Amino acid sequence: MKPLKSKISITLDSDIIEVLKKEAEEDDRSFSQYVNLILKDYIRSKDSLPNKSKHSPS
């Protein structure tokens, strides 16, 4: 089952939005998908979100 998603509203600097839109297009993703991916990667790098691809020891 896919995780539930929630809609939010945030304010970003215009230059950040333009860079993210360009990079999302280059990665063949929607803006929303790309921002979600970047945030997940950042949070995982801080060890605050479990990585689903890793199996925890039994």
Distance in angstroms (rounded) separating the CA atoms of residues 53 and 24? 23
Range of the domain at 29: 14-45
Is position 1 within any domain? no
Does 24 reside within a domain?
Answer: yes
Q: How many domains are contained in the chain?
A: 1
Task: Return the exposure string of 36-50: e unless at least 16 CB atoms fall within 10 Å of the residue's CB, then b.
Answer: eeeeeeeeeeeeeee
Does residue 54 form part of some domain? Answer: no
Q: Alpha-carbon distance 21 to 32, whole Å? A: 9
pLDDT reported for residue 28 = 98
pLDDT digits (tens, 9 = 90+) for 14-58: 999 999 999 999 999 999 999 999 999 998 898 876 666 544 444
Residue 22 placed within a domain: yes
